[in-house]
Amino acid sequence: MSHGHSWGHRLRSAIGARGRLCVGIDPHPSLLQAWGLPETAEGVEAFSEICVEAFVGEVALVKPQVAFFEAYGSAGYAVLERTISVVRSAGTLVVADAKRGDIGSTMAAYAQSWLGDGSPLASDAVTASPYLGFGSLDPALALASETGRGVFVLARTSNPEGGRLQGARLSETSGSGAPDGEVSAVQAVSVAQSVVDDAVAHNRDGRDTVGLVVGATRGHGLDLSEFSGPILAPGLGAQGATVADLAEIFYDSRELLLPNTSRDVLRHGPSVSALRAAAERVRDEVEAGLA
């Protein structure tokens, strides 16, 4: 596949046309209640249809949270399939927030589900967890590169519980040349930084297949100076992050920075016009703040 059809090229085109904001489609039970919809697959479908009408053509990306569809079993998945298909057919990019991660043939099956041509769940990108080892994601990264899609790999997430694991230090060693067989450590990086470094190495082909998930709610403590791929930054709005925070936290990583908001926009539903206006407002604030 030529770079002209790569994920990086497609993403840049979408950002150029409709800005960099990514809006969640999250039919959380509390939002279904607030919108006067039943906590059923039918309620989720009505919720999704309203979101599609409001957001398609106004923002570059939408991000359905798979768990809120999965909760209703096969009926919920059928709604998700239809939502993904309609959004993609209209030219808006879909990031499936599935956070898949496994090894070998299981990871390959997950990859085929979310990134394979012809799959009913095929999206433009999917979120994935590298915490079985970055190499465990190889089947997904290979398929994404082949099909012009992306994989957003969790690096430093917005939830406070992630800090202890993601900030833990890893010792890179130089072998056993020290006396008595001791191994001499040459450097120590955080778990999250090791994910960034692996992503940098994978993206050297220029396709930007590997993106990172880096929360916007706190200082991430990462060296992103070598990373030129997309960064999905959750936490804008209801979780407390502001556009000013984005400009400060990601001061050297703005080209493909994709701020993500969900509840801060979705609370304006079920009115399509109010949802659309809220998304446009946040989109324009983001573009002005990161210009």
* Per-residue three-class SS string for 143-199: HHHHHCCEEEEEEECCCCCHHHHHCCEEEEECCCCCHHHCCCEEEEEEHHHHHHHHH
pLDDT of residue 172: 61
Write the CA distances from 94 to 60, 136, 254, integer angstroms.
Answer: 9, 23, 20
Q: Choosing from 9, 99, 218, 263, which is the catalytic residue?
A: 99
Give the separation between CA 55 and CA 278, rounded to whole angstroms: 10
Q: Looking at residues 231-243, what average pLDDT do you find? A: 86
Instruction: Identify which of 158-162, 213-217, 267-271 has the greatest average pLDDT.
Output: 267-271
Catalytic annotation on 63? no
* Kind of pairing between the strands at 22-25 and 61-64: parallel
Is the pLDDT assigned to residue 112 strictly greater than 60? Answer: yes
For strand 150-156 and strand 169-173, is the pairing parallel, antiparallel, or unpaired?
A: unpaired
Q: How confident is the model at residue 175 (pLDDT cuts 50, 70, 90)?
A: very low
Lowest-confidence pick of 118-127, 176-185, 188-197, 209-218: 176-185
Domains (ranges, CATH) in the chain? 3-160+192-289 (3.20.20.70)
Pairing type for strands 185-190 and 169-173 reads: antiparallel
Helices (H), the chain: 7-18, 29-34, 41-55, 66-70, 73-89, 104-115, 138-147, 162-166, 191-202, 243-249, 263-266, 272-289
Q: Which residue has the higher pLDDT, 55 or 3?
A: 55
Phi and psi at residue 40, in whole multiples of 5°? -140, 170
60 neighbors 93 (Cβ within 8 angstroms): yes
**pLDDT above 60: residue 97:** yes
Residue 25 pLDDT > 90: yes
Q: 271: pLDDT confidence band, cut at 50, 70 and 90?
A: very high
Report residue 58 as tokens.
């106004």
Average pLDDT along the chain:
92
- pLDDT band with cut points at 50, 70 and 90 for residue 62: very high
| Number of other CB atoms surrounding residue 247 within 10 Å | 15
For residues 51-75, give the mean pLDDT. 98
Contacts of 271 (CB under 8 A, 6+ apart): none
Q: pLDDT band at 135, cuts 50/70/90?
A: very high
